[in-house]
Structure 1
Amino acid sequence: MKIKHLVITIVLVTLSSFTKFNSDKIYIATPIKSEVIVQQPSEGEKLIAKSDCIGCHNKDKKIVGPSYSEIAKKYPSNNKNINYLIDKVLSGGSGVWGPVPMLAHPTLKKEDAKSMVKYILSIKK
């Protein structure tokens, strides 16, 4: 049995010595990679998730207040609407979406409110 393995090894080494090897090219077999796209939440989305907004609003469904997608449909994303909605978030209000008032958020930073509003207006369905 040992002699058989020795003979096979010698034959393989001898045959491989006659092959031409090009050392300039190296071929590496790699598996096919599938691309996974992970979308990171925006700053506005993170702020909304940590706030009390989710008690009255949802991305796709009306709860107490309108869904974010309804708001995005009603208000095109421009500076006038962004400033108007920042004021609504900070000051509160009622009458636009029904009789239930939106609570004011006076302790919220204006820049944070702006990030939240921009995220909401980016939701299009």
Structure 2
Amino acid sequence: MKYAVIASLLMTSLSLAHAADATKAKEIMSKSDCAACHSVDQKMVGPSFHEIAAKYKGDKSAEDKLIKKVKSGGSGAWGPVPMPAHPQLSDADTKTLVDWVLADASAK
């Protein structure tokens, strides 16, 4: 019984932490231009966050790749339309966004 209570408390803490991360990521997104090209679950100019999460699922280097892509921009991975660079985003904010997307933003 004691272990069940501890496990429940840990799960609640993790859920709250993920909710806080999602809230922070959405706040960062609202202050940037991400939503001009991306949505959580529908392809727009760029892929949806759900598609990005699915493509990189299980890729241990995905976080680093996507942080560099967001900061530097790029093209070719999802078609001919280039993604502009976002050097104005801090490293911490970029990591928060990327981690949220890779955790499958559509599930949040």
TM-score bracket for this pair, using the shorter chain length: 0.7 to 0.9
Q: Secondary structure at the match of 1:61?
A: coil
TM-score (normalizing by structure 2): 0.73
Which ranges in structure 2 are unaligned for 5 or more consecutive residues?
1-15
What's the Cα RMSD here?
2.0
Contact 1:77 1:122 in 2 (8 A): no
Residue 75 of structure 1 pairs with residue 56 of structure 2: yes
For 1:1-125, what aligned pairs fall within 5 Å after superposition? 41-76=22-57, 79-123=60-104
Specify which structure has the higher proportion of helix.
2
Which ranges in structure 1 are unaligned for 5 or more consecutive residues?
1-37
Give the share of equivalent positions with the same residue, in percent. 45
- Which stretch of structure 1 is more off in the superposition, 73-82 or 99-108? 73-82
Q: Which has the higher contact order (CA 8 A, sep 6+)?
A: 2
When the two structures are aligned, how many residues end up with a matched partner? 88
Which residue type is aligned with residue 108 of structure 1?
A: L
* Cα distance in structure 2, aligned partners of 1:101 and 1:72: 19
